[in-house]
Amino acid sequence: METFDLGYSVWYAFRLLFIGLVFVFLISGIDDLFMDLVHYTRLIYRRLFRRKLITPVTREQLLATPEKPIAIMIPAWDESNIIQRMLLNTAGALDYKNFHIFVGVYPNDEATAHEAQKAREVFPNIEIITTPADGPTNKADCLNWIYQGILIFEKKHAIRFEAFVMQDAEDIVHPLWLRFINHLMPRVDFIQLPVFPLDGPLHHLIAGVYRDEFAENHTKDMRAREVLADSLPSAGVGTALSRQTIEWLAGRRNNQIFDIKSLTEDYLLGILLNKMPGKKIFLQQWVQFRQQRRRWFGRGEKEVIVQQPVATREYFPNEFISAVRQKSRWILGISLQGWSAGWTKSLGSNYFLYRDRKALITNLAVMLGYVVVAYWAGTITYNAFNTDGQIPPLVEVHEPIFKIAMVVIGIFAWRILNRIYATSRIYSIPEGLMAVPRLFVGNFVNFCATVLAIQRFIKAKISGKVPEWGKTSHAWPSEEQMRQYRRKLGDLLLERRMVTTDQLDQALAIQREKGGKLGQILVDLDVLWEEDIVQVVAEQENQQAVEIDPHINRNVVELVPRAFAEEHRVYPLAIEGDRLILAKEIGKGGLSEDGMSQLLQQKVAFRLATGADIDFAIRRGYAPGHDSQVQSERLGQQLLEDGLLTEEQLRDALRQQKRTDERLGDVLVSMDTITSEQLETFLRSRNE
């Protein structure tokens, strides 16, 4: 009798749990369906009735708007492994000139400050602001001190920034991001750009969960929020505030722009702006670019034209613990600390506050749902092997709750289809299909993160302390991943007026037809020298290029043996401080600067050069009689000083000489720069 009572109690408890979960999922599902209705209704309406009225912003419009000063704020704690690369990439990739980057560092984090200083040596518009207190405090506190540093900078340099941009140390910014801010502000007071995680291997399930969630939230939910609510939450990155907005916040908070008691200061910032008049938008813009993709059938790759959203890209963790820590910070700040912001007078804004806070319940309910499913599977197995005592089902088919459960299952299937569509649109169809198994992985991560958030919240309440900045360790993408987010070579060449539009179109047409690299095609068409391409590619990749003068002091050349230079395709140029500067052939990969430093037992820094440059330098620099070549007067320089050559003609002749290894005089004659008679006359006069 005892066993029967216990078994009945367990069955009844699971029945009640099942019924409760059905209603939780039904309410949440109807909420999600409403969001879908808003999104798709808006999408259809715009396609049918407003498509001709809505014209995308063109590049010409962006370029035509005079550049206003823009300040970029980057808080950094324990980011020494990536901050230099992020700053160099950001400063070099942005298609904009009138901006300054302000990096907030801590007195007890010298490594991060040191790496930021290295970037500042390359780009003087990078400013480093040190907080007065040791870190880590929290992100809001660091941002507040950055703002104070900006005010001091403005007074000192008589400048007034018209827009303030929030980014993180792991962000990859889109080249046109500041152009859009400059074009839209001050007509718009708040801009949030989509945030999309970087592409990654399909088997990285946890990182894939981030891709799925952001793909759906930042294409559908944020757009619906823009329509229905009076405010938009900031994602903390890719957020732009107008001067009017930042001063409004400063006035309300005694210059404390961000709430230092919150771990999601960006989210609360968006809620607070509900009280400020002014336009707030979620910016969705797409640009076209060409990309090499593996063929579905057969071998090799093909070039395709794809649409790329203007968005902030960044790495998200693929480790379970790191993901739980990061998501717990979001849940703690939004679903728990967010209650401190209360509610608003706007029905639409309150609806979205409810959606933000319901995650605290649904994340726990989903895991309880798995427990119920496990119990259900167990009863089926038990009943299959035990015919004597059958465990009754939790609900009978004829019960109304069963029909409601079927509706919930239908809503769940619809949710999966939406997730597949959103992920496929931003990434690829295989990524979209992987969103199905990743949904279950994401549910488990969110459950653990919710439990951790509740623990941290309770602990903070008992201790009376603000939770620490539980930041996630960050990584920087590979060189291959970075290429698709940089400014395109053709755009850079046009901007520098190194090619005409017709020449670029011709080269692109050849590339589409035959494939190959754009730079090499322009070289083959005799539009540019290879050295010209190297200069632009080096800038595109935040590196430095050089044209080698092989007549360098023998002491420098002898630091690298000839066999070593030939093997690794390098050539010694100079000593700068404690570093040996080496020219390295572009596109050859090979050892990193650290690896080369270990082999040579000398700190090394690379400069990029053409293959022809490296070959010529090795032949001439290591040749016997090098010292006499250095000491002798150089023909090209003499001809230039005597007015027989222009600098451009001499440059072209020297470049041609590297490819033919002929005497410079013979090269000048073959290029019709001077006549053989002029050369002979000049040489006779020099020998007299």
- Does position 594 have pLDDT exceeding 60, yes or no? yes
- Does position 167 have pLDDT exceeding 90, yes or no? yes
Strand (E) or helix (H) holding 12: helix 2-45
Tally of residues, the chain: 688
pLDDT value at position 274? 79
| pTM listed for this prediction | 0.69
Is the model more confident about 47 or about 145?
145
pLDDT value at position 26? 96
pLDDT band at 688 (very low <50, low <70, confident <90, very high): low
pLDDT band at 50 (very low <50, low <70, confident <90, very high): low
pLDDT value at position 34? 93
Is the model more confident about 14 or about 233?
14
pLDDT value at position 291? 59
Q: Which of 108-112, 203-207, 335-339 has the lowest mean pLDDT?
A: 335-339
What 3-state DSSP class applies to 516? Answer: coil
pLDDT tens profile 364-399: 999 999 999 999 999 988 888 887 778 888 888 899
- Does position 361 have pLDDT exceeding 80, yes or no? yes
Q: Are strands 239-242 and 163-166 parallel, antiparallel or unpaired?
A: antiparallel
pLDDT value at position 97? 92
Is the model more confident about 61 or about 253?
61
Nearest CA to 597 out of 558, 570, 566, 563 is that of 570
Is the model more confident about 414 or about 334?
414
| Residue in the block written with tokens 């703002």 | 147
pLDDT tens profile 130-160: 888 888 888 888 998 999 899 989 988 999 9
pLDDT value at position 461? 81
pLDDT value at position 590? 77
Alpha-carbon distances of 246 from 23, 166, 168, 178, 286, rounded to whole Å: 43, 12, 18, 17, 28
Q: Other CB atoms closer than 10 Å to residue 392's CB: what's the count?
A: 11
Cα distance between residue 592 and residue 669, in whole Å: 41
- Does position 63 have pLDDT exceeding 90, yes or no? no
Is the model more confident about 307 or about 575?
575
pLDDT value at position 93? 86
Q: Which CATH superfamily is domain 68-316 in?
A: Spore Coat Polysaccharide Biosynthesis Protein SpsA; Chain A (3.90.550.10)
pLDDT value at position 630? 41
pLDDT value at position 52? 57
Give the mean model confidence (pLDDT) for residues 440-453.
94
pLDDT tens profile 614-653: 888 888 788 765 444 443 346 777 777 777 778 778 777 7
Question: Residue 273 in contact with residue 280, Cβ under 8 Å?
Answer: yes
Cα distance between residue 176 and residue 289, in whole Å: 13
What 3-state DSSP class applies to 242? Answer: strand
pLDDT tens profile 391-445: 888 888 899 999 999 999 999 999 999 999 999 999 989 999 999 999 999 999 9
Quote the DSSP letter at residue 545.
B
pLDDT band at 285 (very low <50, low <70, confident <90, very high): confident
- Does position 354 have pLDDT exceeding 70, yes or no? yes
What 3-state DSSP class applies to 647? Answer: helix
Q: Other CB atoms closer than 10 Å to residue 206's CB: what's the count?
A: 19
pLDDT value at position 487? 61
Helices in 158-204 by DSSP H: which ranges? 177-184
Quote the DSSP letter at residue 478.
-
Q: Other CB atoms closer than 10 Å to residue 562's CB: what's the count?
A: 15
pLDDT band at 173 (very low <50, low <70, confident <90, very high): very high
pLDDT tens profile 460-489: 888 877 666 555 555 545 555 545 555 677
pLDDT value at position 468? 61
What 3-state DSSP class applies to 36? Answer: helix
pLDDT, mean over the chain: 83
- Does position 234 have pLDDT exceeding 80, yes or no? yes
pLDDT value at position 42? 85
pLDDT band at 349 (very low <50, low <70, confident <90, very high): confident
pLDDT tens profile 572-589: 888 888 888 888 888 777
Cα distance between residue 113 and residue 443, in whole Å: 38
**Class level of CATH domain 529-632:** alpha beta
